[in-house]
Amino acid sequence: MEKPKVLISDKLSPAAVDIFRTRGVEVDVKTGLTPAELRAIVGGYDGLAIRSATKVTAEVLAEAKRLRVVGRAGIGVDNVDIKAATARGVVVMNTPHGNAITTAEHAIAMMFALARQIPEASASTRAGKWEKNRFMGAELFGKTLGVIGCGNIGAIVADRALGLKMKVIAYDPFLSDARAVDLGVEKVELPELFSRSDIITLHTPLTEGTRNIIDARAIGRMKKGVRIINCARGGLVVESDLAEALRSGHVAGAALDVFETEPATENPLFALENVVCTPHLGASTTEAQENVALQIAEQMSDFLLTGAVSNAINMPSVSAEEAPRLAPYMALCRNLGAFAGQLSVARDGGFGRVTIEYEGAAAALNHKPLTAAALAGLLGPLMEGVNMVNAPVAARERGIELTEAVHDRPSEYQTLVRISVTTDRDTRSVAGTLFAGAKPRVVEIKGIPVEADFTRHMLYVTNKDQPGFIGRFGAALSDAGINIATFHLGRAEKGGDAICLVSVDEPVPEAVLGKVRALPLVVNATALGF
């Protein structure tokens, strides 16, 4: 089996390269590539490891026919076109914990520097001045710190601030009341945070919802003398509005590690004395750079070698421990989805509602990746290149209504997954289990019990349960030179609806399908492939 191959296009620790090679992944290190150079070679790789310099655009992804994963050694992924990556089925993962402490410490350092005017005082003293009366600072003790974004980094900043005996209030749409209590912060809405905070620090990703979150209107709600810190992302603050507020004195000072345009060699904020600026140093410690490089190498290796997904931006996570256990279930769900999808497309051209049910052992599993696998199988007959990454998005874009149900009830099988598809005409279902704990097997079609392994070439026939069908059907395949490998029958009741599922050694041509459909007692016949 060919080894997966990874391209490292930004500078990573040599130890990260060693991890890839030790784990059995081929790796090339080619930094400083131009966009054209990257597009020219990216098609030969399964993985792309980056920091912030490489821009993974839609144009780059269009050339990455083989690419399965992009790994960002760091938190921010605004240099990756997530939508384009998802559409192409490429997993995008980051390392949200590797530099969290370093970035949080930088924000605290900026807060101290801002409160005590340390950069200006240092420059003045080094210039031979002794301006003790000029640099009147402010204590942090007892001040109210407003934290916008209380995830990994924001929570660490809050913890350090509480250690300084500050009052901490936080705004984060995803912060639960229980989590706020655990952190020791007061959860508030954004307008209240603006009006109450003495210092505001930003720790939120840059999204359409957070872009320009601090503008002239927001600043107008803040108390006079507020100080603002941004060690998160450029674009969260409208820099021209902040500059005007600093000049007017409404904002007492600002500390910025990130800027809307980087590298930031020119900026209206640079000329203001009450501004502290650093060149995006939040993650720039030896420890953090090493941590994120090693972490992304491990994550990408796990994914390429075992299917484990950690810290993915665009698909459900599957831990390294879960991956081997989930693998047969994902195969089962993909095959069941493919079965239902091929029938629905062949009969009705599509579907509008999908229900996926988990019973027995399957009910206790992480079902999000299982659902993604089922949707990938289901949509396979409708679109090329569909996989677990882009299938959920593709389903939403097609207006497919998805329902997941987990049943805590006795099941005839130790584990069972059932997929029901509703079209304009009717609802049909297919259910399956794992034989011997690892081999996917269909056990029910449209409520009719029938047991069969999934094979590469199959033929599904619905018929009336009356004598003569099996002989005529077998003869039709025999006359066409098609050998039957396995033959499985099921019926709802004597003389009622019946189904026949056979495995054959080669694809069934359309002309042969036509002859089967024309047989007496046959309602329909569909060729299936797995």
Which of 245, 253, 248 has the alpha carbon at shortest distance from 273?
253
Residues marked active site are found at: 233, 262, 280
| Percent with pLDDT over 70 in the chain | 99
- Residue 100, number of CB atoms within 10 A of its CB: 24
- Residues 494, 13: Cα–Cα separation, whole Å: 70
Mean pLDDT of 115-122: 93
pLDDT band at 436 (very low <50, low <70, confident <90, very high): confident
36-50, 56-70, 226-240, 506-520: the lowest-pLDDT one: 506-520
- Contact criterion met (CB below 8 Å) for 414 and 396: no
Question: Hey, what are 463's tokens?
Answer: 């018929």
- Find tokens 């229980």 and name the residue: 178
* Inter-helix orientation angle 286-306/322-348, to 10°: 50
- Residue 461 pLDDT: 92
- Residue 100 pLDDT: 87
Region at 220 (left for phi over 0; alpha for psi -120 to 50; beta for the rest)? alpha
- Compute the CA torsion angle 97, 101, 103, 109 (nearest 10 deg): 170
Cα of 210 vs its chain's centroid, Å = 19
Distance (Å) of CA 460 to CA 296, 346, 520: 45, 11, 16
| Cis before 467? omega within 30 | no
Answer yes or no: is pLDDT of 90 > 80.
Answer: yes
pLDDT tens-digit series, residues 130-174: 998 898 889 999 999 999 999 889 999 999 999 999 999 999 998
Mean pLDDT of 303-307: 91
Which of 401, 400, 428 has the alpha carbon at shortest distance from 526?
428
DSSP 432-469: EEEETTTEEEEEEETTEEEEEE--SEEEEEEEE--TTH
Answer yes or no: is pLDDT of 345 > 80.
Answer: no
Q: How many CA atoms lie within 13 A of 448 on its CB side?
A: 22
- Residues 286, 94: Cα–Cα separation, whole Å: 18
Strand ranges (E), 138-272: 144-148, 167-171, 186-187, 199-202, 226-230, 251-256
- Residue 163 pLDDT: 96
- Residue 426 pLDDT: 81
- Residues 402, 337: Cα–Cα separation, whole Å: 13
Cα of 81 vs its chain's centroid, Å = 13
| Percent with pLDDT over 90 in the chain | 68
- Residue 346 pLDDT: 61
According to DSSP, residue 270 is labeled: G
- Residue 348 pLDDT: 62
Q: Which helix (H) or strand (E) holds 329?
A: helix 322-348
- Residue 308 pLDDT: 87
Mean pLDDT of 204-214: 91
Answer yes or no: is pLDDT of 321 > 80.
Answer: no
Distance (Å) of CA 172 to CA 154, 288, 323: 10, 25, 32
pLDDT tens-digit series, residues 326-343: 889 999 999 999 999 898
- Residues 157, 155: Cα–Cα separation, whole Å: 5
Question: Hey, what are 397's tokens?
Answer: 């874009």
Mean pLDDT of 30-47: 96
Phi/psi for 429 (5° steps) reads -135, 155
Answer yes or no: is pLDDT of 351 > 80.
Answer: no
pLDDT band at 75 (very low <50, low <70, confident <90, very high): confident
- Residue 349 pLDDT: 61
Distance (Å) of CA 37 to CA 32, 34, 334: 9, 5, 37
Which of 66, 198, 206 has the alpha carbon at shortest distance from 140?
198
- Residues 441, 514: Cα–Cα separation, whole Å: 28
Which of 68, 64, 57, 70 has the alpha carbon at shortest distance from 8?
70
- Residue 347 pLDDT: 67
Question: Hey, what are 364's tokens?
Answer: 């206790």
Q: Which residue has the higher pLDDT, 70 or 428?
A: 70
pLDDT tens-digit series, residues 451-485: 999 999 999 999 888 888 899 998 999 998 999 99
- Residues 78, 403: Cα–Cα separation, whole Å: 32
- Contact criterion met (CB below 8 Å) for 525 and 459: yes
Q: Residue 201: beta bridge partners?
A: 147, 229
- Residue 215 pLDDT: 97
Helical H segments across 100-189, by residue range: 100-116, 118-126, 152-163, 177-183
Residue-range domains of the chain with CATH: 5-96+287-306 (3.40.50.720), 100-277 (3.40.50.720), 319-450 (3.30.1330.90), 455-530 (3.30.70.260)
* Exposed e or buried b per residue across 231-256, where buried means at least 16 C-beta atoms within 10 angstroms of its C-beta: bbbbbbbbbebbbebbeeeebbbbbb
Rg over alpha carbons for the chain, rounded to the nearest Å, is 30
Question: Hey, what are 492's tokens?
Answer: 């709802």
- Residue 495 pLDDT: 78
Quote the mean pLDDT of the chain. 92
pLDDT tens-digit series, residues 279-297: 999 988 888 889 999 999 9
205-214, 393-402, 403-412, 437-446: the lowest-pLDDT one: 403-412
